[in-house]
Amino acid sequence: MSVSFLDRLGETATRKLAARSSRRGVLGRMSAAMALAPAFPLLPVARADAASAPAPTLSDFERRAQSRDATKCNYWRHCAIDGVLCGCCGGGVHTCPPGTEPSPVSWIGTCRNPADGRSYVIAYRDCCGRDICATSKDCHCNTADREMPIYRPQASNDIIWCFGTASTAYHCSTAAIIGQAS
Amino acid sequence: MRFPLLPVLGVLCALGLSALPRPAPASGAMPVVPVVQGHYLVGCGGCHGVQGRSGRSVVPDLAGQVGYFLCTPQGRDYLVRLPNVAFADLSSQDLADMVNFVVFTLGRDSVPAGATPYTAAEIARLRADPLRLADLHGYRDRVVRGVIGACPRARELHDYDTAQAGREAGRDAP
């Protein structure tokens, strides 16, 4: 019976492997690999992956928020505003229009800026002293991230904050940044 | 739908109880609001002011004033038994930290010498006995009289009570 080329090749390779290695050495290396395998998930790569943790759940508003146009209801600072945007009425995102004065009190919200992924404390301050601003309906906003019912008035935007001002007439609302939330 | 604030303030603005970062410009480095200060801002700072100054006559100022309440045991208890404080959505430890921030940081020099910070146990005891008074303004007025008796320099606390009495007289007038 003739010996095929493949048989000779297999025999040669097996003999060379047997000549260069010991069964004890193979068993030792396999045992070491099995013993060390459970340690690998604890190495820095795995820990870094765990530290990145699940991403915070975003609200509907936060998913649609933008950071370019402050005269739109979906501007990020407007996550909890109820009223007319002063930016549509001759004022700005944190300035009152001429002929009105800011309320000395406000209500406080926390909004996420999609540009940097950070949250900021926002003071929603009403501008008072003129009738409600007549402008596009697109500037009439009512968002409610982290808002509470009126029985927790300090966290409700269903309140007109025009008191402590010369006039209690509501005109529009601003959204000033107080600082970055920690 | 929005409502005028004053009718709602029967409870809120009677409270004797806003950090120190001022409203920041739209750009540049933003101050980071510490957690305890964030609790104050979200729970109290809207009415009492970011800096603890609210104009005094409609809502009591805190800056440089709130510490006077620690001149008497009744005044010390009053600050925590106020409904919006007692019912705050915070643990007693977090509430103690916040009240201590309000009293000792915002209150500054108004805190009498030797006054000690509130502990979580003290807060837990006091908030379990919130004020249940229809006439909260009247009660505050009596507390303030006691405080002024113990600390005469606290007399500016009465500015709010005087203004409130004037508003009520105006409302009751025919």
Walk me through the domains of chain B, giving residue ranges and CATH numbers.
Answer: 33-172 (1.10.760.10)
pLDDT of res. A36:
67
Pair A86, A173: CB distance under 8 Å: yes
Q: Which residues of A touch B59 (CB under 8 A)?
A: 105, 164
**Cβ-Cβ contacts under 8 Å for A171 (sequence gap 6 or more):** A84, A86, A89, A96, A97, A100, A126, A127, A128, A129, A130, A131, A132, A133
Whether the predicted interface score ipTM is above 0.90: no
CA-nearest of B27, B122, B43 to B76 is B122
Q: Residues of A within the annotated binding site for substrate?
A: 82, 157-159
**Tokens at B52, concatenated:** 């603890």
CB contact under 8 A, B33 and A182: yes
pLDDT tens digits, one per residue of A75-92: 999 999 999 999 999 999
From A7, A49, A76, A107, active-site residue: A107
Q: Phi/psi at A179 (nearest 5 deg)?
A: 175, 180
Instruction: Give the start-to-end residue ranges of the domains of chain A.
Output: 5-51, 60-180
pLDDT tens digits, one per residue of A79-138: 999 999 999 999 999 999 999 999 888 888 899 999 999 999 999 999 999 999 999 999
Pair B157, B68: CB distance under 8 Å: yes
Q: Which CATH class is domain A60-180?
A: mainly beta
Count of other CB atoms within 10 angstroms of residue A53: 7
Largest CA distance in chain A: 115
Question: Model confidence at A22, in pLDDT bands (50, 70, 90)?
Answer: low
Q: Is A126 a catalytic residue?
A: yes
